[in-house]
Chain A
Amino acid sequence: MNGMFSAMDVSGSALTAQRKRLELLVTNLANSETTRTAEGGPYRRKDVVMVSRPFRSFYDHFVETTSRNRLEGVEIRQVVTDDSPPLLRYEPNHPDADVDGYVAYPNVNPMKEMADLLMATRAFEANVRAFESIRTMVARSIELGRTR
């Protein structure tokens, strides 16, 4: 039984991280044509930095465990802004056009965002499965004690 609950935490950490990532990807997609932001200029693409994070399993409180054998969850360490230059489109009639008639559009490539979105969804689903498996195992373990 020892580590089952921390195993749930590990899957949970991934669900949190992937959901945050999904939210950012959706924000990117929603703003793929936004030319004005509060910071000024077009919207800039955002991305996440994911880092694995060791989780203490129940046993770790009693015996020394080398870091090699720790469970590894995941967390979003940082949200970064993509500083690549904005895409310029020639639209002289647009109110945000510069003197040459070019409008700066966000550096968002919808194809890339969609691909990432798919990956994030898959990763989320996979972790839901992992979570469910552990839940099944815990429930079954409790049943083991019942003889009738």
Chain B
Amino acid sequence: MKIFDQMMLDRIERFLDYTVRRQEVIGSNLANVETPGYRTRDLDFKEYLEKARQAGSALKVGHGRHLEGAPVLLREPVVRKVTTGSLGNDLNNVDLDREMTRLAQNLLRFSTAAQLFEMRMKLLESSIRGG
């Protein structure tokens, strides 16, 4: 279905999934801001996309006229431990300000993508109904 490809819906969906997963990781970091020995984690979008692409499509195309399935969303995100930042006496490198900044940025990214998704859906809807 060309029209759905052009709407980039699956790409927006993947980006939404990424922001949700990143939110989880930031949430973990913030929960452990005072836990001795905890190291900051993060999720890199580039790496995330890379792995999602490797995972490929969930459906096999056995015939030229078969529709290609949407790529599966990544089951297991690549979470990296961040080694930069100063280690305190408790061997914890969570930077509260950095995490709060990322939290805000991530939420904005999510909202942007959600907005984009809605706009696309509205566009589709009006095309279907003929304006």
Chain A residues packing against B (C-beta within 8 Å): 1-4, 6-7, 10-11, 13-14, 17-18, 21, 50-52, 57, 59, 63, 65-66, 68-69, 71-74, 119-120, 122-123, 126-127, 129-131, 133-134, 136-137, 140-141, 143-144, 147
Residues of B contacting A3 with CB < 8 Å? 20-21, 24
Q: For the complex, give the distance between the alpha carbons of A106 and B104 in Å.
A: 43
Task: Please name the residue on chain B nearest to A1 by beta carbon.
Answer: B20
Chain B 72-98 near chain A by CB (<8 Å), digits 1 or 0: 000111110000000000000000100
Q: For the complex, give the distance between the alpha carbons of A119 and B10 in Å.
A: 42
Q: List 19 A-B contacts (CB under 8 A).
A: A4-B20, A7-B23, A10-B28, A11-B27, A51-B35, A57-B24, A65-B76, A68-B79, A72-B28, A72-B32, A72-B41, A74-B32, A74-B34, A126-B100, A127-B30, A130-B103, A143-B114, A144-B118, A147-B125
Is the Cβ of A69 less than 8 Å from the Cβ of B76? yes
* Shortest Cβ gap from A113 to chain B (Å): 15
Say which residue of A72, A119, A122, A144 sits within 8 Å of B31 (CB atoms).
Answer: A72
Task: Please name the residue on chain B nearest to A14 by beta carbon.
Answer: B31
Is the Cβ of A71 less than 8 Å from the Cβ of B27? yes
Residues of A contacting B100 with CB < 8 Å? 126, 129
Chain B 24-57 near chain A by CB (<8 Å), digits 1 or 0: 1111101111111110010000000000000000
Is the Cβ of A10 less than 8 Å from the Cβ of B31? yes
Task: Please name the residue on chain A nearest to B121 by beta carbon.
Answer: A147
Residues of A contacting B117 with CB < 8 Å? 144
Is the Cβ of A137 less than 8 Å from the Cβ of B110? yes
Q: A1-B20, A6-B24, A144-B118 are in contact. Are A126 and B34 (CB under 8 A)?
A: no
Q: For the complex, give the distance between the alpha carbons of A21 and B121 in Å.
A: 47
Is the Cβ of A50 less than 8 Å from the Cβ of B34? yes
Q: For the complex, give the distance between the alpha carbons of A66 and B24 in Å.
A: 16
